[in-house]
């Protein structure tokens, strides 16, 4: 995981997921936290059934890339969890 504290972070995005499966999604996404690019930092929170992904980035291109990656990860995770729980 990169340490963004030493450099100024200029951009931030949040993805919020409200679902009855949020706690399971939180567990599924945890391994992805360990594999982060150097130009962005991602934190995943679970609070009262709401999953929140917070992305901090140094520049717009890295924010866009991280945002696209995490939206895809969430979408795929939702599809897999839904299929497994059928």
* Per-residue confidence (pLDDT) for residue 4, from 0 to 100: 52
Domains located in the chain, CATH noted: 4-84 (3.30.310.50)
Q: Which residues of the chain have pLDDT under 70?
A: 1-9, 37
Of 55, 25, 53, nearest to 37 by C-alpha is 55
Angle, vertex CA 80, rays to CA 54 and CA 40, nearest 5: 25
In the chain, the N- to C-terminal Cα span, in Å, equals: 34
Give pTM, 2 decimals. Answer: 0.83
> For residue 76, what are its two tokens?
């795929």
- Give me the phi and psi of 2, to 5 degrees please: -80, 155
């Amino acid at each position: 995981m990169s340490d963004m504290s030493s450099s100024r972070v200029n951009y931030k995005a949040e993805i919020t997921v409200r679902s009855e499966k949020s706690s399971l999604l939180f567990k599924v996404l945890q391994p992805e936290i360990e594999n982060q690019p150097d130009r962005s930092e991602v934190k995943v929170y679970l609070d009262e059934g709401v999953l929140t992904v917070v992305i901090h980035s140094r520049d717009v291109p890295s924010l866009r890339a991280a945002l696209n990656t995490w939206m895809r990860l969430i979408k795929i995770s939702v599809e897999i969890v839904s299929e497994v729980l059928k």
